[in-house]
Amino acid sequence: MNHIWSGNKIRLRAIVASDWEKFHQNDYDSECARASDVVHFPRSEEGTKAWAEHQASKAPDGDSVMLAIETLDGVLVGSISTHSCDPRHGTFKYGAAIFREHWRKGYASEAIMILLRYYFEELRYHKVTAHIYAFNESSIALHKHLGFVKEGRLRNMFFTNGQHFDEHIFGLTSQEYKKLRS
């Protein structure tokens, strides 16, 4: 029996309070932080525990959600979240972050496809958009590989490591997704 939130390598699940330690360790990887969000101020273990407990107890905000990515044998490898979900127009955005020791194992691509399957096939969304920083060449290559179309570039949108970077916008429609799946 196949579960909609599972693939061949990973599953998406709710974040649980005990995930705090892996997320806390990841907080110390500035390169990962830059690629998926920003470098934040240091957070205490208690702060990360409180964050994980909050994530574990909070309900989705409409169709916006943050999920853990774990291997089928139960190893937490990252997270994926949706935001800017607009059911009226059928559009949403998402972001994914894989912990460094699990890069290049196909986890991000499978997590993205599981997420798209749910949003396109269950929630009737029509289009997804991913905003990717210009220096994140791996994510740009991944999205091209997944069939996303580069739709634009916002100049000097992100400042990190002493300089400004452009932000690339990639999109995929439900029709394009269906062609990829067939």
What pLDDT, on the 0 to 100 scale, is given for residue 32? 85
Q: What is the DSSP string of 41-79?
A: PP--HHHHHHHHHHHHHPPPBTTB-EEEEEETTS-EEEE
Residues in the chain: 182
Task: Compute the average pLDDT of residues 19-44.
Answer: 88
Does 1 score more than 80 pLDDT? Answer: no
What pLDDT, on the 0 to 100 scale, is given for residue 18? 97
CATH topology of domain 10-181: Aminopeptidase (3.40.630)
Task: Compute the average pLDDT of residues 66-91.
Answer: 98
What pLDDT, on the 0 to 100 scale, is given for residue 114? 97
Whether 113 and 7 have beta carbons less than 8 Å apart is answered as: yes
Does 72 score more than 80 pLDDT? Answer: yes
Question: Could you give the CA distance from residue 97 to residue 168 in angstroms, rounded to a whole number?
Answer: 17
Does 118 score more than 70 pLDDT? Answer: yes
How many whole angstroms from its chain centre is CA 41? Answer: 21
Token pair for residue 117?
């399957």
What pLDDT, on the 0 to 100 scale, is given for residue 36? 81
Whether 164 and 156 have beta carbons less than 8 Å apart is answered as: yes
What pLDDT, on the 0 to 100 scale, is given for residue 180? 86
Does 99 score more than 70 pLDDT? Answer: yes
What pLDDT, on the 0 to 100 scale, is given for residue 169? 98
Indicate whether this model's pTM tops 0.75. Answer: yes
What pLDDT, on the 0 to 100 scale, is given for residue 28? 86
Task: Compute the average pLDDT of residues 108-129.
Answer: 98
Percent of the chain with pLDDT over 90: 86
